[in-house]
Amino acid sequence: MSAFGVRDLLDAAGAPGIAKQGNPEDQGALASGPPASAQPPAEALAPVLKGPTLTPVVLAGCVRGLEILSLVVLGFAIQEITLRGVVPLGWPYVVAILAIAGLAGAAFQMGGCYRIAAFRSLAKTIAKIAFGWSLAFLVVATAMVLAKVADHYSRVWLASFYAGGLGLLILGRVALFVFTSVQMRKGLFDRRTAIVGGGPAAEELIRSLEASADSSIRIVGVFDDRGDNRSTDVVAGHPKLGNVNDLVAYARRARIDLIVFTIPISAETRILQMLAKLWVLPIDIRLSAHATKLRLRPRAYSYLGAVPVLDVFDKPLADWDVILKNVFDKVVATLALIALSPVMLGVALAVKLGSKGPVLFKQKRYGFNNELIEVFKFRSMYVDLGDAGAAKLVTKGDPRVTPVGRFIRKTSLDELPQLFNVLKGNLSLVGPRPHALQAKAANTLYDQVVDGYFARHKVKPGITGWAQINGWRGETDTSEKLQRRVEHDLYYIENWSILLDIQILATTPFALMKTENAY
């Protein structure tokens, strides 16, 4: 479901708009730190939950790839060892090795050997691995006989490949079992989950999630929008950490992967009011169908272990998408730094000779999930007139800007040091532009101008973005300009692909030629 569709839905339902930072009641919903009302347990737990995790999807993909690659390498190695000087390596052996490894991988996949539960169950998984490996050999051997080419293959090689492959697979699975067991105890594969709602429904859901070995759910606490007189402090052994506003603030400090609502589907208004505050977070949001009387087709649900849920929001980038984007950023940023190093040296020299002060300017801005990051730029203002918080936007002919600064701001050369931010990992090549903390449109802070402004922080900010190449670059002196920029940012988040990033990067040089709004 797109961000625009949800916002329209909220308006149609008559639910309140996205909380703004200027609203005292909802201060915690969008601030980077916890609200004043946050309860001590949430504050105490937040630092413990920080840090990245390796998702089961990525782990399974790595294991699958390594197993198939190892089998292929083993097949070639055994052919070299057993048949060197006797039978040269030709296409028949190459095809047989690839066929056996590929069929084995497919058999393991169909047998569920790449699920996180299989990594933790050694005996049963080894039995499935042995069966899949034997089946792959049987299928290939049958094909050899039917094609009347069996005599072209060495029986010594086939037997050695079978025995060696089986041994390699078993040793690999033993090592994977030890690794997974150790890391599970450390919480590496946990899906850190917050439960919204209380009462018997929440208790039943929590017990069902904890009873499911495949869910990898780690419940961090319960959040309930009802008053203390209607909501207990402990639900199924897990503490109540606050209300929905506290949950948003908590999610800004501690990494949470999943939010599950236990509230009945019939409570539409209540759900919409809470979603209006939670949708700005880069977190999966699900609605539990565990206790509802409504029964849909199985395909309508996704599952947390054996617990059916309805998908409400998905984080924009997850699993392999995160890795792909990070690798793309690092590789392209490195190449860009090498290619643009003469230009950067020239700009640095011009800045240094043009006015007194440092070459680089560092500024605090909001990054992914509202984290504060320090962004690098070439200095474009006089040192004594600098505005680190950007409380006043730069305007045409602004006396605070140096002559060199005017040129590098118009051409966006002042942004080039942000390539170091990309290598550091707190900035992406493409994404919503990071705005200064005190940036204003029509003398009003950005987050107070546009409802859901902080939803643009669901992904890392970027050096360039969809808004910039579509003409919404430079000064945002009116609320309409900011609104349009945010709309383009949200479109990018909802429609991200690596091809879209490439398109934006390729279009950016042409967009920089339009300098009418860049001062």
Has residue 91 got a pLDDT over 60? yes
Gap between the Cα atoms of 326 and 332, Å rounded: 10
Tell me the percentage of the chain whose pLDDT exceeds 70.
Answer: 82
> Which residue intervals of 222-316 are DSSP H helices?
244-253, 268-278
Confidence (pLDDT) at 137: 93
Number of Cβ atoms within 10 Å of the Cβ of 358: 11
Q: What is the dihedral of CA 454, 318, 204, 294, to 10 degrees?
A: 90
The number of residues making up the chain comes to 519
3-state secondary structure of 206: helix
Calculate the CA 494 to chain-centre distance: 13
- What tens digit of pLDDT does each residue of 9-60 get? 445 444 444 334 333 333 333 333 333 344 455 555 555 555 556 788 899 9
Per-residue confidence (pLDDT) for residue 26, from 0 to 100: 38
The 10s digit of each residue's pLDDT in 458-496 is 999 999 999 888 887 766 767 888 888 889 999 999 999
Residue spans of the domains in the chain: they are 3-52+190-313, 56-186, 320-511
- Taking the C-alpha atoms of 55, 57, 60 and 64 in order, what is their torsion angle to the nearest 10 degrees? -140
Q: Does domain 3-52+190-313 have CATH number 3.90.76.10?
A: no
Per the rule left: phi > 0, alpha: psi between -120 and 50, beta: everything else, 261 is beta
Render pLDDT for 324-348 as a digit per residue (tens, 0 to 9): 999 999 999 999 999 999 999 999 9
DSSP state of 459: S
Q: Is the pLDDT of residue 95 over 90?
A: yes
Looking at 411-478, list the stretches that DSSP marks H as alpha helix, in order from N- to C-terminal side: 418-424, 446-449, 466-469
**Global pTM?**
0.81
pLDDT tens digits, one per residue of 125-139: 999 999 999 999 999
Pairing mode, strands 372-378 and 360-366: antiparallel
